[in-house]
Amino acid sequence: MRIHAQVTQFLSQAIPLNPTPTLLLAFSGGVDSCVLLHALAQAKKTLNFNLKAMHVHHGLSPNADQWADFCAHTCLAYKVSLEVIKLNVEKGAGLGLEAAAREARYQALLAANADYILLAHHQDDQAETLLLQLLRGAGLKGLSAMAAQDSDRSLLRPLLDIPRLEIEAYAKSAKLAWIDDESNLDTQYDRNYCRHEVMPVLKARFLAASATLARSAAHIAEAADLLDELAEIDAQTCLLKGLMNVELLAALTLPRAKNLFRWWLSSLGFLAPSKDRLDDMLTQLMIAGADASIKVMLDKANDIYLRRYQGFAYIESNHPEQASEITMIWQGEDSLTMPDGTQLFFDRKQGEGLAIDRLGGHKLRIASRQGGERFKPDLARPTRTLKHLLQEANMPPWLRERLPLIYLDDTLAVVPHIGVNCMMQATERDMGLVITWATDSKA
């Protein structure tokens, strides 16, 4: 059958089969996942992989326990191990419940111990996803719908080019049993409304509607990939150590600047902002004067802001612990975590950093800034206030407030990003301790 051949060919091209990978099938017990399980069992006769399955029990239907039992018996017949995960999804209505259940399902699958996760999405699912994203006003990323191979999350969709009718015909021909989720008929959910009310009307006029919509999603995905490549090229010029140079960003055409800015936020783990939000952030960044400092809410729930300082855009993560006093002793660890989540790293290097023999058995003390500290990292220059040294180094004010200082007894020995006390620096003959403060790219 074509589906069996397609799944076998897909796997042989999509993943390395040596060493033996472990594949995890998301098994709902519906016709799509039952067909994929059957095809995988056939493919396993000629391909080298381990197969297991997971059934996510949402508890949203009175039949949920029966479905879990059906999945267990079906997998037992195929000699495939099955893990049933019970999740509590907050009940609501419409898209809220639909999205919550989907998110919970993905989280469970991604947390499993597997090399790849197999999903039974098919061509009609892809067409419906594109339509829904169009109606939500999504950008290219959203309109790309689903990828047959999602390398970031190790997701595989071998049936994505197969229409629903062909999957159902395969199931009947192979005399498979499956379950029907009654919620799939409930048109209060957007996807079901699209499936039962919109797509039949489209197909009555355009017979190949599902195939052509899925093909359009593939074209859009290619365009989105090209825009990511363009953003990576622009990032080489506009990003410096993870920070966005606002002047260089503004020199790009507006669409190109938006593309780079959106890509930058995504690379830092943020969801793409709405068009209006993106326009507002870019406008504030670009029209501010050269010396202006701005602060724009980026993620209210996590207290994260977009900041500008000395011509660069930063992402500032506020922490409740940020104001906590730092009082720590270094006892030889490779790293220490500060109250705000930032880290100090301690590396031993010949001829660099703080001369270890100067410690003389004393412990290094890490403390917060108190104000009024003076420091002399350069023997040829006078002792200066730490405030002026930090300003000269262009350290943003919100980082200066959190800066950990390293003392040897009562002497300020090391100021991260500034240097080592000139009287304590390692010479080329000394073993040194290099201390770095990692604030991460979102600091």
Q: Which residues of 161-191 are buried (b: 16+ CB within 10 A; e: fewer)?
A: bbbbebbeebbeeeeeebbeeebeeeeebbb
Is 32 annotated in some ligand binding site? yes
Cis peptide before 396 (omega within 30 of 0): no
Determine how many CB atoms are found less than 10 A away from the CB of residue 194.
19
The answer to whether 30 is annotated as binding is: yes
Is 28 known to sit in a ligand binding site? Answer: yes
Extract the tokens encoding 159. 């049936």
29: annotated binding-site residue?
A: yes
Binding residues for ATP: 28-33
Query: Which residues belong to the annotated binding site?
Result: 28-33
